[in-house]
Copies of this chain bind each other. A is one copy, B any other.
Amino acid sequence: MLEKNYLMPGAALTMLLDHLRNRTLAVETVPLHDAFGRILAVDIIAQEDLPGFARSIVDGYAVRAVDTFGAREQMPAYLTLAPEILMGTTPSFVLGKGEAAPIPTGGMLPEGADAVVMIEDSQVVSNTIVEIMHAAAPAENVIQRDEDIRIGECVLEKGQRLRPQDVGALAGLGIPSVEVFRRPIVAIVSTGDEIVPLGEPLTMGKVRDINSFTLRGLIQQQGSVALWKGIIRDDFESIRAVVAEALAESDMVLIVGGTSAGVRDMSAAVINAFDGPGVLFHGVAVKPGKPLIGGIIGSRPILGLPGHPAAAAICFANFIRPALDMLSGEHEKRTFPRTVPARMAKAVASVAGREDHIRVRLDEGQSGLIAVPVLGKSGLITTLVRAHGTVAIAGPKLGLDAGEQVDVRLFEP
């Protein structure tokens, strides 16, 4: 059956993101050693050249390249030894015509020198003379003063999530602290009369809270901060009060649970009890995750997630993660999804008009990876525990054939 009343997932996500595009979080300054993983709030313009002087990249002799032209093993150039250049110091002399100065890797070229001959291509013949058996081109074995970074250059752009090497480049420029966006705070409001918090005794008919633990990890993995608001009874006024608190303390609110029809409607009603625009969509043509609710209160995104653990996690990957990436201030970069190619171990049926996310385990096959569907209801957390990732079946498709080539989207480690 076609799920006629449900929005297609792409449309639902676009609707949500359109409301977040112009939001920016506050900026804070962090010392560079805490900057890894944070998102730049400003462009970084180099205030100096890197390395700042011409350096040798080999152990050898600093020379004027022109003095070595034509040199080869059978016909070396004979150069006069200039003083040795010590690591980390400025040479106190100018290299004259016909001279060669011993220089270590990383050493500073003296004025007058424009190339370095590797030690392997030289031979000292006396206290004053060295044979050069290789014609050095100008700039050979040299890093120029601005070859890594040039003063005035934009090294990193606003919106860049700082990778280890980006932090390294900032250190190279002597930047001790950077302005980054504050990490988004995501409030988790768990609901359900049947949910018992970890550590409390379980009575028959009740289940323990799984979702707030899974979601906390997913939020941390994205680089945001999770704020758990506890388990709230299925009562409109109680949920409304905690959501009001959560809105004041966070940048995004997740109401989790309420998988039964009556309670689902309650989450939507709670969202609409605040300032608009309120509920944007209620129900998405995706499996698992169909009951997903997306809304905006003022400028804050608020989502109603199904209580089934696998459904909640898959909704996170497909809707909340992209929304959180945008909210974090990360620029809309080209993204490279973490997928691996595999072949389906068996056929899986789907329904046209609905996007299915099949959980799969990856096994090693004779000619590549085999994706084995991990079957089971979306209420089973172990369907995620036993899986390495998911395979999406696009809306119009009627399923996957056995042996069909698919891209498996891996769970993050």
**Taking beta carbons and an 8 Å cutoff, which residues of A are in contact with B?**
32-33, 36-37, 50-53, 55, 57, 59, 86-91, 104-108, 119, 143, 147-149, 155-156, 161-174, 176, 192-195, 198-199, 202-218, 220-221, 234, 259-263, 307-309, 313, 334, 336, 338, 340, 362, 364, 376-377, 379-382, 384-385, 388, 410-413
Shortest beta-carbon contacts, A-B, top 5: A164-B217, A168-B214, A88-B194, A165-B384, A36-B217
Please, how many angstroms separate the alpha-carbon atoms of A149 and B208 in the complex? Answer: 13
A174: B residues at CB distance < 8 A? 198-199, 202, 208
> Which of B104, B205, B209, B214 touches A165 (beta carbons < 8 Å)?
B214
Give every chain B residue within 8 A of A90 (Cβ-Cβ): 203-205
12 A-B pairs in the complex with CB atoms less than 8 angstroms apart: A51-B207, A53-B205, A59-B260, A87-B194, A88-B195, A104-B262, A104-B263, A105-B260, A165-B214, A167-B216, A169-B210, A334-B364
Check A411 against B165 for contact (C-beta < 8 Å): yes
**Chain B residues within 8 Å of A210, by CB:** 168-169, 171-172
Q: Establish whether residues A161 and B413, one from each chain, have CB atoms under 8 Å apart when the complex forms.
A: yes
Q: Specify which of A156, A161, A411 lies most central, judged by the most chain B CB atoms within 10 Å of its CB.
A: A411
Interfacial chain B residues near A217, Cβ < 8 Å: 36-37, 162-165, 167-168
Establish whether residues B259 and A106, one from each chain, have CB atoms under 8 Å apart when the complex forms.
yes
> Is there contact, CB below 8 Å, between B88 and A205?
yes
Chain B contacts of A209 at CB under 8 A? 171
Asked if A380 meets B168 with Cβ closer than 8 Å, knowing A203-B90, A334-B362, the reply is: no
Nearest-CB residue, chain B, relative to A165: B384
Task: Name the B residues within 8 Å of A410 (CB-CB).
Answer: 336, 338
With a CB–CB cut-off of 8 A, which chain B residues contact A105?
A: 259-261, 307
Given A198-B176, A207-B106, A307-B106: A57 in contact with B377 (beta carbons within 8 A): yes
Cross-chain contact A379 with B165 (CB below 8 angstroms): no
Q: How far is the CB of A205 from chain B (nearest CB, A)?
A: 4
Do B106 and A194 have beta carbons less than 8 Å apart? yes
A202 near B52 with CB under 8 A, answer: yes
A218: nearest chain-B partner, CB-CB: B164
Rounded to whole angstroms, the CA-CA distance of A165 and B383 in the bound complex is 9
A217 to B32: give the CA distance in the assembly, Å: 11
How far apart are the CA atoms of A155 and B382 in the complex, in Å? 8
Interface centre among A57, A207, A384 (most CB of B within 10 A): A207
CB distance from A214 to the nearest CB of B (A): 3
Q: What's the Cα separation between A156 and B5 when bound, in Å?
A: 40
Report the minimal beta-carbon distance from A166 to chain B, rounded to whole angstroms: 6
Contact B192 A106 (CB under 8 A): yes
* B261 x A59 contact (CB < 8 A): yes
Distance from A122 Cβ to chain B, minimum over Cβ atoms (Å)? 13
Q: Which of B36, B107, B211, B411 is A216 in contact with, Cβ under 8 Å?
A: B36
B-chain residues with CB within 8 Å of residue A172 when the two chains form the complex: 207-208, 210, 309, 381
Give the residue of B59, B220, B377 whose beta carbon is less than 8 angstroms from that of A36: B220
- Cβ-defined contact, A313 with B165, below 8 A: yes
Contacts of A104 in B (CB 8 A): 260, 262-263
In angstroms, how far is the closest chain B Cβ from the Cβ of A160?
9
Partner of A169, one of B36, B89, B162, B381: B381
Task: Report the minimum CB–CB distance from A305 to chain B (whole Å).
Answer: 13
Q: Which residues of B are found within 8 Å of A156, using beta-carbon distances?
A: 385
Q: Which residues of B contact A193 (CB under 8 A)?
A: 86-88
Given contacts A204-B53, A336-B340, contact A164 B215 (CB under 8 A): yes
